[in-house]
Chains A and B, each alone.
Chain A
Amino acid sequence: MPGSFHRTITLTYVAVTSLLVAGCSFEQSALHPAGQDAGELSALAWFMFAAAVVVWSIVMGAAIYAVLGRKRPKSERFADRLILGGGVAFPTVGLAILLVFGLSLLPSWTSAETPDLRVHVRAEQFWWRLGYEQADGSLIETANELHLPNGATVEFVLSSTDVIHSFWIPALGGKMDAIPGRTNQLRLTPTKPGTYRGVCAEFCGPSHALMAFPVVVHEEGGFEQWTEQQRQPASVRSDAFLSAGCGGCHVVRGVSEAGAVGPDLTHFGSRSTIGAGTLRNTRENLIAWITAPAHIKPGAAMPSFQSLPEAERAAIADYLMELR
């Protein structure tokens, strides 16, 4: 399929949808690709859509002609030819072409080549634990916001601690399940800097719908800068945070490294969302979250801190916002 066909159709589509639905960002769309696989697959999607419209029109045309058309007597041989031509020859040829072409896109999913970056993703109800593998094999741990360098081939190593989840960033490419007891690999190559959105695609419990994450694809050099910043431990302490027992479940490197049950909060203030893509990261939202997480996100494991004095909740929120 010529690339120009796809480019034209995608550009037209993007233009039309943007006009129709002004104010939408389509950052979770497989049809607004920002990655190599997503690009190929959206091309495949448009090609198959076009072919489907043609096939549907032919078959329905034949059916409607059969019902409404003026009849000349036709022979039984005509029937046999129609059945064999329409039912055997036509789909066999069409499907063979589609299959060869479609499966040629498969090898890009798995490859023996060393990727440019390896990110360990552990899915948990209902958030994402992320570890960026460094040259020495160590991990920089963070959570719920994925940062990637543009143009790099990234391998995601997917696992799960509780139930089956599925890791999906539509704008970059296909999804892959995270299954307890197994490790799956998925490779994606972002091709366009910007902010996108990933989600859990396999139903995983009450807050399946609220298990998302922003994906930031950096321009040249931006990712290295971000990594350097994430590598640093936190520089400030907070008595409110520690005395409320937050450290029992959350790591803030350099401050409290005992509990790793919940998301790492070392650079929480630098993230754009709270609760794995559930709320925008603002002070008010954060206080509301600390007050009653399960009210915002059904089934969330974090307990309610309603019993804390309001001032302390605010102090914790202020502290977390400070962790940039």
Chain B
Amino acid sequence: MTPEEKTAETRQLEQVWAQPKGWRALSDVNNSTVGLWYIATAFAFMLFAGALALIIRLQLAVPENDLVPAETFNQLFTLHGTVMMFLFAVPIFEAVAILILPAMLGARDLPFPRLSAFGYWCFLIGGVFVSSSIFFGQAPDAGWFMYPPLSTEQSGIGADIWLLGLSFIEVASIAAAVELIVGVLKCRAPGMHINLAPLYSWYVLIVGAMILFAFPPLIAGDLLFELERLLDWPFFDVTRGGDPILWQHLFWIFGHPEVYIIFLPAIALLAMIVPTFAQRPIAGYSWIVLSALGTGFLSFGLWVHHMFTTGLPSISLGFFSAASEAVAIPTGIQIFAFIATVMLGTVVRSVPMLYCIGALAIFIIGGLTGVMVAVAPFDFQAHDTYFIVAHLHYVLIGGMLFPVMAGVHYYYPFSRGKQLSRKLGIWSFWLMFLGFNVAFLPMHLTGLLGMPRRVFTYPAGLGLEWLNLISTVGAFVFAAGFLVFAWDCVRPKRREPNVARNVWNAGTLEWATPVPVPSYGMRSIPVVNSRYPLWDDKEFVPAMDEGRGFLANAREGKRETLVTSVLDAQPVQVLRVGKPTWLPMIAAFGLGAVFIFSTYKLWIPTAAGGVVFLAALLRWLWTGTAIIPEKSGKDVGGGLELPLYVSGVRSTGWWAMFITMTGDLTAFLSLIFGYFFFWTVHPQFPPEGVDGPGWQWPAVSAVLALVAWATTLLARFGNRAGRVVLARWLLGGGLAAAGASVLALVAGPVTTGLDPTTNSYPAIVWALVVWTVAHLMVGMVMQGYCVARSMFGKMTPQHDADLWNVTLYWHFAGFQALLTSLVIGGFPLLA
């Protein structure tokens, strides 16, 4: 290849991947832009929540203080916890992963860039909505876990803001989880067998999966919560058969894994940083992967340790104590693997390493106090006191904030091409490290001396004065340290020289790009044969630069990246990913309007928002997904021709649907859990004198749903066999059957006169009906969409990705319809 041809290729890549300029920059969807926005926004929310914390500390600096009234104080700590957890700790994981994962895997972008952008806009809109409520005195005020009945019966609009704002942000989290899981599974560079994948991507995979199983129970809980607040369906009202403990279960089935959803991605950053500064491969790679999996798995069996004082039987206390202790073991393995790596290597002292050591020192204290509170009897004293406040901050600051700070220092040159200041880094570290410990170490004692958490004041004379004053001073030192860091990040660096390529001499793929990083990332996609290709193969980077890898050009003027197989990363497809577009942003604003206006019960703007959302979404799908390419395949280099269009199991879209629906199924099963929870807490369930929906209508509905499901599957076979018209008729018939199924499902409780406001039983039956009806209706839209695609020639016997994905949706929706009918129609016959 001549130098001219090479220059031409580079120019093609530059044109195709160029970032939009000016105000159009906001329409960008590329991971390196969206990732940066995401990180900056998450840190902005963190600063805001930190400022709230400083007001809290000022109020508590002296006993019997009256700086802020009780009502304001309650809003302050509720919003502090909510913002830190939902707008910083979880999103920062998604943000960092969106930024660095593609380069680390050798992909040009994530598989669904527009979905990342959509998630980002949802996060921004929802976050601003929730945060700004405090300026109107309408912030949520029942604590960040919103226990009913306080939150359902006595809170103002703040509770709705909390609920709807967060539901909206959960959409963003699940979108990111889908994106990142598919990214790790399907977008690794050729040859990067799953056991060669960087540890960071393993953690992303595990955490993504955890989000799918942890967030949906909260979404189900939110649904019940809002149904109670909006329509007076008594899920948590004891006077009508509800039970506030159900919320605690649903919240903590989410809430405990969430701790690990926050912690594991931060540890993942350490797993990248430590080998670089030890200048050797990580020790115990397999041990780390296994223990990360173990942590993720165990974290779902711990939630009850947040409920030790609710009056559970001793056997539960023993079981959950033991499980809570056990999770310390995989955590210990990961920590010792890092220590072993450093012991075996040659240490390069640097600011990221300083933050790593600081993180370890803080996190271990949090882990050890965690072991203490996991011992149920001790928790009876420590629970709901400042001991817990200290414990959770040690875990989160040591297990999340400090590693993320290490990560920002480490990856800053990767993203910006400049270094953060070493001097300022050392200053910020010591201010934050000392300030943090001065603020939070005394709180262990404060708690055991009897100070409950969430108190707006405390009396003098109990020995709490000095401890609280010291904590307040420490908090301000800590804040000062963070401001030094923030300044270091944002201060202008235009005059400073660019860093050298691979400035830390790291071994992983994300450091292979030149500085400044071209918009397209790497010149060509390499074949990866080792965990640290930059260390193991001196020819690796030159080969990439010379375009000897795959996809060295963008001849067709499309943004392209490689899709490989799940386990052994064999190339299977050239994936065309989205270009800059306003549609994700418009869709997010539409959905945001739905959530925000419905909080204030403004139904017309809510409906308008819904229409905008649906229109934007359909346009996005219609014009941007499953596009039939102009040719069947493309030569990606090295004589390898890969298809431009695949459908079914090999495609990224199918995996995204599968992953989304797994999360959806979890939410549905959480509702089923609610149904049976009411059964266990009531001696008579269904209650005396209340007729269920009967078995006849649910049975009819189930049969019709099965028909809709079967016809969709048959349509896929028919279409593939070339019987396109038959497939359309089958889909149309399925659509009709699904509609009839909806009517039959609603007919059950309507004909027997089940009133959801009277008791928790009819309420949970109706909740299941509403859920299933919504799923059947989405399924109908999908069937109609496929018919339309087929009529307009956008879906053919060979190009049937839409139909594959819709069929997959129907596997889940059909199953849920069947289970709903069985439970609401069948269970009363047994009980």
Contact = CB atoms under 8 A, between A and B. Distances in A.
A205 B143 CA distance: 9
B317 interface: yes
Contact of B325 (A74, A95, A173, A205): A95
B462 A199 contact: no
26 contacts: A24-B462, A31-B445, A41-B380, A44-B378, A59-B364, A60-B361, A62-B343, A64-B357, A66-B347, A71-B346, A79-B283, A79-B343, A86-B336, A88-B329, A102-B375, A105-B377, A163-B153, A170-B448, A175-B309, A175-B384, A181-B238, A201-B383, A201-B385, A209-B70, A209-B452, A210-B457
A67 B342 contact: yes
Interface in A173-225: 173-177, 179-182, 184-185, 197, 199-210, 212
A23 B63 CA distance: 15
Q: Which of A82, A173, A200, A210 has the most CB of B within 10 A?
A: A82
Interface string B346-376: 1101000100010011001100110110011
Contacts of A197: 450, 462
Contacts of A202: 147, 384
A83 B349 CA distance: 23
Interface stretch (A48-56, A234-242, A250-258): A48-56
Contacts of A52: 365, 368-369, 371-372
Interface in A132-183: 162-164, 166, 168, 170-171, 173-177, 179-182
A86 B445 CA distance: 29
Given A41-B377, A106-B314, A30 B448 contact: yes
Interface in B228-272: 238-239, 243-245
B318 interface: yes
B619 to A, nearest CB: 46
Nearest 8 pairs between A and B by C-beta? Answer: A174-B380, A181-B238, A28-B450, A87-B333, A102-B375, A209-B455, A184-B311, A79-B283
Contact of A90 (B143, B332, B369, B455): B332
Contacts of B173: none
Given A110-B314, A174-B309, A184-B311, 9 more contacts: A17-B463, A30-B450, A76-B283, A82-B339, A102-B375, A109-B314, A205-B74, A208-B454, A212-B459
A182 B310 CA distance: 10
A298 B378 contact: no
A87 B147 contact: no
Please tell me the size bucket of the interface on A. Answer: 35 or more
B283 A83 contact: yes
A298 B74 CA distance: 12
Interface string A67-99: 111010010101110110111101110010011
Interface majority SS (helix, strand, loop, mixed), chain B: helix
A148 B582 CA distance: 70
A320 interface: no
B672 to A, nearest CB: 22
Contact of A82 (B147, B343, B463): B343
B498 interface: no
Given A56-B368, A83-B336, A102 B347 contact: no
B786 to A, nearest CB: 49
Given A24-B463, A28-B450, A98-B325, A87 B310 contact: no
A44 B385 CA distance: 17
Interface in A96-142: 98-99, 102-103, 105-107, 109-110
Nearest to A196: B450
Contacts of B343: 62, 65-66, 69, 71, 74, 78-79, 82
B460 to A, nearest CB: 9
A174 B450 CA distance: 11
B645 interface: no
B125 interface: no
B326 interface: yes
Given A60-B361, A106-B314, A209-B457, A29 B450 contact: yes
Nearest to A181: B238
Nearest to A57: B364
A45 B346 CA distance: 40
Contacts of B147: 163-164, 202-203
A48 to B, nearest CB: 5
A91 B374 CA distance: 14
Contacts of A59: 335, 339, 360, 364
Contact of A99 (B287, B321, B379): B321
A26 interface: yes
A206 B283 contact: no
A317 interface: no
B375 A44 contact: yes
What bracket does the count of chain B residues touching chain A fall in?
35 or more
A275 to B, nearest CB: 12
Interface of A: 17, 20-21, 23-31, 37-38, 40-41, 44-45, 48, 52, 55-56, 59-60, 62-69, 71, 74, 76, 78-80, 82-83, 85-88, 90-92, 95, 98-99, 102-103, 105-107, 109-110, 162-164, 166, 168, 170-171, 173-177, 179-182, 184-185, 197, 199-210, 212, 298-299
Q: Which of B71, B143, B309, B369 has the most CB of A within 10 A?
A: B309
B311 A177 contact: yes
Contacts of A83: 283-284, 287, 333, 336-337, 340
Contacts of A26: 449-450, 462-463
Given A99-B322, A181-B238, A298 B71 contact: yes
Interface string B438-480: 0000000100111111111111011101100000000000000
Given A62-B339, A163-B149, A207 B376 contact: no
A86 B287 CA distance: 13
Interface string B579-621: 0000000000000000000000000000000000000000000
B325 A177 contact: no
B339 A66 contact: yes
Contacts of B448: 29-31, 45, 170
Contact of B376 (A17, A23, A102, A208): A102
A87 B462 CA distance: 41
B375 A103 contact: yes
A8 B646 CA distance: 74
B344 interface: yes
Given A21-B463, A98-B375, A41 B325 contact: no
A10 B292 CA distance: 40
A206 B142 CA distance: 9
A63 B342 contact: yes
Contacts of B451: 28
Contacts of B239: 181
Contacts of A105: 377
A44 B373 CA distance: 11
Contacts of B383: 166, 174-175, 201
B360 A177 contact: no
Given A66-B342, A177-B310, A166 B384 contact: yes
A31 B372 contact: no
Nearest to B380: A174
A60 B376 contact: no
A103 to B, nearest CB: 5
Nearest to A100: B322
A196 B384 CA distance: 19
Contacts of B311: 176-177, 179, 182, 184-185
B347 A67 contact: yes
Given A29-B463, A79-B344, A87 B142 contact: no
Nearest to A72: B343
Contacts of A99: 321-322, 325, 375
B464 to A, nearest CB: 8
Contacts of B245: 179, 182
A211 to B, nearest CB: 9
Contacts of A90: 332
B154 interface: yes
Nearest to B369: A52
A30 B64 CA distance: 22
